[in-house]
Every structure is written in structure tokens, then in C-alpha cells.
Amino acid sequence: MKTVIYYFSGTGNTRKVVEKAADALQQLGWEASCRAMEQVQSPAEEIAACGYIGIGYPVHAFNAPASVLRFCEALPAQTKEAPKPFYIFKTSGEPLALNNISSLKLRAVLEKKNYTFCGEYHYVMPYNIIFRHSDAMAYRMWETAKRLIPLDCADLAAGRVPPEKKFPLGGALAWIMRVEHWGGRWNGKKYSVEESCIHCMKCVKTCPVHNISYENGAFRFGKSCLMCMRCAFQCPQNAIRIGLFNKWKVNGAYSFLPPAEEEKEQHKRYCKNSYARYFAAARERVLQCGGEFPEELLTAEEAEEELPARSAE
């Protein structure tokens, strides 16, 4: 089976997930690859050769980013007689059930073009805005995703469609939250660069929508910002101010490596039980499928407590 996962990733989390998924599908005998949406020109021929297509995105304000919706809107329509199955891999910074509504619009766009839904998989990965997760938490998230992805890919390959996770008034809520698409563009105009900038031009070169330019010794931020955080996250000098949301800025890549011993219990804030349930559900699923889930991926508190398992979605 040939498949391509088209993905958008502002700061690398979603890329890590879809690359792992492509590996897992290859292990199952699929001819799987992934491609960044911003590098895809006209995918019609490629899609025609695929049995399935995948879409990967990070949740932005309980929605798919604007660029992902645009990409899907531009995909070639399929026919009712020969619909094309699609699946979704998404990442988010927290495991709240509300993140489920993020795919509603995307699914509607694709289904209108005769793509048929065949699965949606959600992984919690560290935040790239609001606050920085501890390295310990980032490590636990990635190690957990690495164990879940092959199980989800096995379901996908076997045609087992996961049950739909509905959220009351989800469509209306997602519609309201899409104000972020407009707000991001507006706020993007307010970005600025501090004096510590070393003019490496990484931000200019890697902005996925070419929204940053450098002219006559000054940076200019246009009106197409996706709020993907790539520029501010990867800036080696932490020199980019992200407008009204500067207090929420996260700078510097996560290592995803095992943390030092004393760091292990560091993550104490924000949605604690929700994260604990996510890890508990992941452990239960991995163990049920005969895999191993190292105890180090749970905090001492989580390992002792029998939390009612509930998945990310």
C-alpha cells in the first residue's frame, strides 16, 4: 500500500510523530513517506498513486492551522465512485478532550472532496507556546508517543477505524476559535526583533509562509503569520518578540533525552490529572498489546495511584 503523510509542523513535534508513523507503516509493509506541506507544489499525481493519504498537524487554538486547511482545500477532488481514504495524525500540548474538535473543519473540507475518513490519532507533545514543559515531561511524552504510534499504525493498516470522539457543540466552538487564524495574522504584524539578534537570518529563511523579510537593515513582519512559533522557538539568541503573546514565548528545542534524576518530578502545573490520565491510558494500551511501558515514564505518584484511564481524545 502506498501512502504519503502531508504534514505541517511549526517547531518539529508533528514532524517527529509523522516520521515515526511512516517508519511504523513501512515495517507493516506499506510504502510510506511524509512530506512537509510547505514543500509540496502539486500533489495530484502523487495522490492518484496512493491508496491512502495522511494529514499531520499541530493543534492551534482547538483547530488545524490555517495553512493546513488551505492545503486541504487545494487538494484534487476525488470521485464518489473512487473515494480516497485519509487519516490524521495530530499533536497538541495538552490532552484535553476539547482538542478533538480540531479536525472537524478539516474533515468536512476533505469529505466534501470525496476523501473518506479512516482514522485519527492524537499524541501529546511539549508545548511550543504558553509555557515550556520540563525536559522530563517532554521525554515522557515522546517515549509514550513512540510506543503508541506503531499500535495506531497497526490499527490503520488493519482497517480498524477508532471510534469517533464527539464533543457537544464542537463545530460551533471550533468555528469561534478559528478567530485565531485572523488573530495570528494581526498579531504577527506586531512581532519585533531585539538588539541581541546576530542576523543569522534563520527566521527569514525558514518561515513557512515567507512572512519575514530583512530590508535596509530592518526586519519586516508581513500579514501572513501562522503563529506557528518556528521563528521565535528556534532563534539562537531568543531575540524575537511575539507581539501580544511574548510572555507565552517558548525558545529552544526540547532535547527529548532522559532527564537528570532530580528533574523527574518537576512537572507540577496545569492540567496535572489530565496528563496523568493520558499516560495511564497509554500504559494500559501498550501493555494490553503485549508491549513494554517502562515505569520511568510515569511519575511516582502516577505509578502508585490507579487513575481511571482516558485517552488523549
Residue ranges that bind ligand FMN, judged by CB under 6 A: 9-14, 58-62, 91-94, 99, 125, 127-129, 227-229
The Cα angle at residue 69 between residues 63 and 71, in degrees rounded to 5: 145
Minimal distance, residue 259 CB to ligand FMN, in Å: 19
Residue closer to ligand FMN, measured from CB, 12 or 119:
12
Q: How many CA atoms lie within 13 A of 2 on its CB side?
A: 6
Minimal distance, residue 18 CB to ligand FMN, in Å: 9
Minimal distance, residue 224 CB to ligand FMN, in Å: 14
Minimal distance, residue 253 CB to ligand FMN, in Å: 10
**Among 168, 166, 179, which residue's Cα sits nearest to residue 61?**
179
Residue closer to ligand FMN, measured from CB, 78 or 144:
144
| Contact between 89 and 243 (Cβ < 8 Å) | no
Residue 240: CB atoms within 10 Å: 24
CA 75/CA 44 separation, integer angstroms: 7
Minimal distance, residue 45 CB to ligand FMN, in Å: 27
Residue type, 196: S
Residue closer to ligand FMN, measured from CB, 30 or 62:
62
Q: Three-state DSSP class for 73?
A: helix
Residue 268: CB atoms within 10 Å: 8
Minimal distance, residue 208 CB to ligand FMN, in Å: 10
Residue closer to ligand FMN, measured from CB, 12 or 243:
12
Strand partners, 141: none
Please report where in the chains the cell 457543540 appears, as a residue: 169
Minimal distance, residue 93 CB to ligand FMN, in Å: 4
Q: Are strands 218-221 and 212-215 parallel, antiparallel or unpaired?
A: antiparallel
Residue closer to ligand FMN, measured from CB, 54 or 85:
54
19: its cell numbers: 516520521
Residue 244: CB atoms within 10 Å: 11
Residue closer to ligand FMN, measured from CB, 84 or 142:
142
CA 67/CA 225 separation, integer angstroms: 10
Phi/psi for 145 (5° steps) reads -60, -40
Residue closer to ligand FMN, measured from CB, 180 or 302:
180
